[in-house]
A and B are shown apart, each in its own frame.
Chain A
Amino acid sequence: MLDDYLNAIKRFKEPVVYTPESPILHPWKLMTGMLRDVGKSWPLARRLIIRDLTAQYRQTIFGYLWAIIPPLATALIFIFLNSAKILAVPQTEVPYPVYVMTGTIFWQLFVDALNGPLKEINLNRSMLTKVDFPKEALIISSIGQVLFSFFIKLILLTVILVIFRVSVQWTIILLIFPMAGLLGMGILIGVLLVPLGVLYKDIQQGLALIIQPLMLLTPVIYPPPSEGILAKIMNLNPITPLILAVRDCIFTGFPRPLIPFVTVCGITFLLLFLGWIIYRLALPILIERMEA
């Protein structure tokens, strides 16, 4: 009886109408559609995460170790440069290797999130041009993969903290906020780049070029200087409060100053919603320009 009833409900659907109109003119329908599709996305997103993770690591010898190799390599270079006194990093509140590792690991979270959406769309071009499925699944899938590789990195970080016998604060549980902030901001920028990035390959090429210098303008491997041009730039860089908050939460307590951090997080999540709408509206138009 209940099954029949549920089937009847499932069967009874409103007709779907496709017109040249922009869906933005019907905000209510747009919102309900977005929420409905997120719900429908989960099973597919789960499969895509499993597919991409297994495929990615099955053809390697080091397997999941590849998640920690890039940040570890970057960190080792700077640890070497610093110990050889080529780089003069001022005294940090924790041993320098610990400082660099926290920086690079959380920076990598941001970078992975930033590259995620475009990477996932490019990987699934043939699927996009041939099957209708909730497009949100691609974003959820790329978030899932980013988080997976991030949690492996967290294990590395834990090991390093133990090796250097650094004591952590109870505020480490608040780490979830800067973490969400970095992930959110990465995904936000990644999603906003989708419309241009799908059409023009320049975007991906350019991204690879920009990310390295951007790291040097963020307190990833050295603390922000107190004055000078770099200090000003780091101050304006919206990623700065997030990275600083990461270290505060682990080593010293509440993020200080709190206001820039909260503001950046708040704005990021508001804009994420906007980015979602743009993504949703742009994709059907992008799909017709993709090679079949």
Chain B
Amino acid sequence: MDQTVLIDVNKVSKRYCRDLKRSLWYGVRDVAKELMGQSQEEHNLRKDEFWGLKEVSFRLGKGESLGLIGRNGAGKTTLLKLIHGLIKPTGGRITVNGSIRALIALGTGFNPILTGRENIRISGAILGYTEKEMNEKFDEIVEFSEIGDFIDSPVQSYSSGMLARLAFSVAVHTNPDIMLVDEVLAVGDLNFAIKCYRKIVDYLKQGGSMILVSHNMYTIRTNCTRAIWLDQGTIKTAGETNEVCDTYELFAARTDKVISEQRYLDNTIEITEVNYPQSILDNDSFWFEFTIKTRRNIKIPIVAVSIFDITGHNLITNISSLDNFTPFLKDGQAKIRVRYDKLYLGAGAYHINLVLADGHINNQLAAFINCFKFEVKSNFSNFGAGFFKLQPKWESQ
């Protein structure tokens, strides 16, 4: 990697105001200060203010791509806006060495009445295309957007996906030294999203640098060499992407208030006792046991177990009847133990749903959503990419 530093963010702070009326008044005062040549530098907060960013420092080198993660309101977009020079810092110093293109929002400057063709030129001019560049790239942009004959129709007749595709195409046909991308990659249908990723990958391959804000950990893990986790305006962790993402995901899962929910057809059914390990290593076996109590007469009891990741993807479902197992209910009570020799799940947090049915799995008597939560930790954090941990047999001939 080239050692040239493209962006140097040094102890940058930014304060914001919660209250609208007061914010406007502070605005008047700040403008007055600016005009009188006073610095906006402040170490204290005024009434109703908070630190949107507090003493954040990092560097972006040439060829690097940096992921910014964190909860809503953590300061990610503020940081991009400061680097882009849209707003002024309250403290610190930002040095930018190279041309920047920001994809903070798509389609800025679009006018609904004008045609796609006209809007491409407008959007391009806003993003800093010269007339010559635009003439060269125009056909390529139209083709990339897959808009077809609609290109000469007013964009208000476009579907939202088409609009996003057009906007993205304009934004991405350029070669700045640095790209600032804020949550705009996943636009349009699946095919187009893949095309967009490919475009970004090409850009990075050609030595481009990028700061990417996304809530999609997969996007961050696959596109970024480093990551920063921002929390309430400060850097919580920074470093190698997978490590930072793992820490963040685990934290998110722990603080995530998963609401256990029970859906009954028969409210005499309850789960009285659950035993499970809170955390396992990714090559451990995994087991848990629970006790079902019911006053109902169940002819053929069936139990189903589903494992979900924190984003709600159902990763594994096992149904007792399909595995030729029938729980034995004695006095309306059964203690059931489930054991996986190996779970094959990557590092992260997971939760489990339990379902009790009679005769057929569709004949559900009770469902226990988010029954409990457990964590999988990885021995090899640096290689933690991917949802699953499978052990292949390697051969060479």
The answer to whether A and B interact is yes
Chain A residues at the B interface, C-beta cutoff of 8 Å:
13, 15-22, 24-25, 43-44, 46-48, 50-52, 54-55, 58-59, 124, 126-133, 195-196, 199-200, 278, 281-282, 284-289, 292
Q: How many angstroms from the CA of A50 to the CA of B118 in the assembled complex?
A: 9
B35 CB within 8 Å of chain A: yes
Q: How many angstroms from the CA of A292 to the CA of B80 in the assembled complex?
A: 13
Residue of B85, B92, B109 near A132 (CB, 8 A) is B85
Write the chain A residue with the least CB distance to B26. Answer: A289
Cβ of B60 to closest chain A Cβ, rounded Å: 13
> Per DSSP, are chain B's interface residues mostly helix, strand or loop, or mixed?
mixed
Cβ of B120 to closest chain A Cβ, rounded Å: 10
Most buried by B among A24, A47, A133, A196: A47
Within 8 A of A (CB), among B312-371: none
Contact (Cβ within 8 A) A18 B113: no
Q: How many angstroms from the CA of A126 to the CA of B81 in the assembled complex?
A: 13
Contact (Cβ within 8 A) B24 A200: yes
Residues of chain B contacted by A15 (CB below 8 angstroms): 95-97
Residues of chain A contacted by B81 (CB below 8 angstroms): 129, 288
Q: Which of these binds chain A: B123-131, B227-235, B239-247, B286-294?
A: B123-131
Contact (Cβ within 8 A) A288 B114: no
17 additional contacts (CB under 8 A) given A15-B95, A130-B104: A13-B99, A18-B82, A19-B93, A20-B39, A20-B90, A22-B40, A43-B130, A51-B111, A127-B109, A131-B108, A131-B109, A132-B100, A133-B126, A199-B27, A281-B35, A288-B27, A288-B87
B390 CB within 8 Å of chain A: no
Q: How many angstroms from the CA of A262 to the CA of B345 in the assembled complex?
A: 82
A-B pairs, 7 with minimum CB distance: A20-B41, A47-B125, A20-B40, A288-B87, A289-B27, A18-B94, A15-B97
17 A-B residue pairs with Cβ-Cβ distance under 8 Å, sorted by A, are A20-B41, A20-B92, A24-B34, A24-B35, A47-B126, A48-B109, A58-B114, A124-B109, A130-B102, A130-B104, A131-B84, A131-B104, A195-B28, A282-B31, A285-B27, A285-B88, A286-B27
Q: How many angstroms from the CA of A25 to the CA of B26 in the assembled complex?
A: 22
Cβ of A33 to closest chain B Cβ, rounded Å: 12
Contact (Cβ within 8 A) A17 B94: yes
Cβ of B209 to closest chain A Cβ, rounded Å: 14
Residues of chain A contacted by B38 (CB below 8 angstroms): 22
Contact (Cβ within 8 A) A287 B86: yes
Contact (Cβ within 8 A) A285 B39: no
Residue of B27, B34, B85, B128 near A18 (CB, 8 A) is B85
Residues of chain B contacted by A292 (CB below 8 angstroms): 77
> Per DSSP, are chain A's interface residues mostly helix, strand or loop, or mixed?
helix
B89 CB within 8 Å of chain A: yes
Contact A130:B27 (CB < 8 A) given known A281-B35, A282-B34: no
Most buried by B among A19, A48, A126: A19
Contact A16:B96 (CB < 8 A) given known A47-B121, A55-B111, A132-B102: yes
Most buried by B among A24, A46, A51, A133: A51
Residues of chain B contacted by A54 (CB below 8 angstroms): 113-114, 118
B23 CB within 8 Å of chain A: yes
B37 CB within 8 Å of chain A: yes
Q: How many angstroms from the CA of A15 to the CA of B83 in the assembled complex?
A: 12
Contact (Cβ within 8 A) B91 A20: yes
Q: How many angstroms from the CA of A243 to the CA of B90 in the assembled complex?
A: 46
Cβ of A155 to closest chain B Cβ, rounded Å: 25
Cβ of A150 to closest chain B Cβ, rounded Å: 23
Residues of chain A contacted by B16 (CB below 8 angstroms): 288
Residue of A21, A132, A195 near B86 (CB, 8 A) is A132
Q: How many angstroms from the CA of A278 to the CA of B35 in the assembled complex?
A: 7
Residues of chain A contacted by B24 (CB below 8 angstroms): 199-200, 289
Most buried by A among B38, B109, B113: B109
Write the chain B residue with the least CB distance to A134. Answer: B128
Residues of chain A contacted by B126 (CB below 8 angstroms): 44, 47, 127, 131, 133
Write the chain B residue with the least CB distance to A23. Answer: B34
Cβ of A50 to closest chain B Cβ, rounded Å: 8
Q: How many angstroms from the CA of A51 to the CA of B110 in the assembled complex?
A: 9
Cβ of B37 to closest chain A Cβ, rounded Å: 5
Most buried by A among B38, B40, B86: B86
Contact A51:B37 (CB < 8 A) given known A131-B126, A132-B86, A132-B100: no
Residues of chain A contacted by B114 (CB below 8 angstroms): 51, 54-55, 58
Contact (Cβ within 8 A) A131 B98: no
Within 8 A of A (CB), among B1-36: 16, 23-24, 26-28, 30-31, 33-36
B105 CB within 8 Å of chain A: yes
Cβ of B213 to closest chain A Cβ, rounded Å: 13
B172 CB within 8 Å of chain A: no
Cβ of A195 to closest chain B Cβ, rounded Å: 5
Contact (Cβ within 8 A) B31 A195: yes
Residue of A17, A43, A126, A199 near B28 (CB, 8 A) is A199
Cβ of B276 to closest chain A Cβ, rounded Å: 44
B305 CB within 8 Å of chain A: no
Contact (Cβ within 8 A) B102 A16: no
Contact (Cβ within 8 A) B122 A47: yes
Residues of chain B contacted by A47 (CB below 8 angstroms): 121-122, 125-126
